Amino acid sequence: QSALTQPASVSGSPGQSITISCTGTSSDVGGYNYVCWYQQHPGKAPKLMIYDVTNRPSGVSNRFSGSKSGNTASLTISGLQAEDEADYYCSSYTGRNVVFGGGTNLIVL
Amino acid sequence: EVQLVESGGGLVKPGGSLRLSCAAPGFTFSAYNMNWVRQAPGRGLEWVSSVRSSSTHIFYADSVKGRFTISRDDAKQSLYLQMNSLRVEDTAVYYCARTNWGDWNFDLWGRGTLVTVSS
């Protein structure tokens, strides 16, 4: 199956809010409430930030929130901080396995 | 400490084989589904394979089916990936990842091991 579609880059200033979209189809994002978001800093392993569309693992800041509408999931980061600058990947269950998005580079201006 | 530590990566020629290992100290390995996810240089994440607890079910991406074999040894708290008939396009950092809160949420990742397939 094809990768989920994410914008290549998003930017924002410290303190602002940004939203990263993740568009799939009714066979993945739209069909299941099994969307995850991962943060990856350069040279580091990915870190789970959101699972099952809206849930935050223990230890993840409540500045990170997830939502979904139809075939598009979104990650919102409020109160942007310099340390949020990283790549972000969404993933979704497809009915058989999991597919990732192409990734979004978040730039904190 | 709860962690995942991959090893076994390296340089291999096209058509060659390599076996990756992932040591998983610090948690009850047998209770978790485990996975391999890879990332080609400068590219995004790609799911490779998953094995359920007790090896009851195994899944592969179409891109590696028939060439890669995932396995686990719960007594050794370890996950493996046997990679055969390697191709240039298999070049990537291979991450070991643990599943939690469902079947496809990867909550713990290793630092990865680099596999380079080149002549």
What's the token pair of residue B37?
């996810």
pLDDT averaged over every residue in chain B: 95
Q: How far apart are CA B93 and CA B95, in angstroms?
A: 6
Beta bridge partners of B94: B38, B113
Segment A13-31 shows an average pLDDT of 96
pLDDT band with cut points at 50, 70 and 90 for residue A74:
very high
pLDDT band with cut points at 50, 70 and 90 for residue B17:
very high
Task: For residue A102, give the nearest of B37, B44, B107 by CB distance.
Answer: B44
pLDDT band with cut points at 50, 70 and 90 for residue A1:
low
pLDDT averaged over every residue in chain A: 96
Other CB atoms within 10 A of residue A17 CB: 12
Among A20, A11, A36, which Cα is nearest to A76's?
A20
Q: What is the pLDDT of residues B48-82, one digit of tens each?
A: 999 999 888 999 999 999 999 999 999 999 999 99
pLDDT in the model for residue B82: 98
A38 CA: distance to closest CA in chain B (Å): 9
| Residue whose pair of structure tokens reads 């901080």 in the numeric block | A81
pLDDT band with cut points at 50, 70 and 90 for residue A57:
very high
State yes or no: pLDDT of A92 exceeds 90. Answer: yes
Segment A1-15 shows an average pLDDT of 92
State yes or no: pLDDT of A4 exceeds 90. Answer: yes
The B-side interface with A (CB below 8 A) comprises: 37, 44-47, 50, 59, 61, 95, 101-107, 109-112
Asked whether the beta carbons of residue B44 and residue A101 sit closer than 8 angstroms, the reply is: yes
What Å distances lie between residue B3 and A103, B7, B78, CA to CA? 25, 13, 12
- Give the DSSP per-residue string, B28-87: -GGGS-EEEEEE-TTS-EEEEEEE-GGG--EEE-TTTTTTEEEEEEGGGTEEEEEE-S--
Residues 6+ apart with CB under 8 A from B56: none
- CB-CB contact of B70 with B47 (8 Å): no
Segment A73-98 shows an average pLDDT of 96
- CB-CB contact of B36 with B45 (8 Å): no
Asked whether the beta carbons of residue B109 and residue A93 sit closer than 8 angstroms, the reply is: no
Furthest C-alpha separation in chain B? 42
pLDDT-above-90 percentage for chain A: 94
pLDDT band with cut points at 50, 70 and 90 for residue B103:
confident
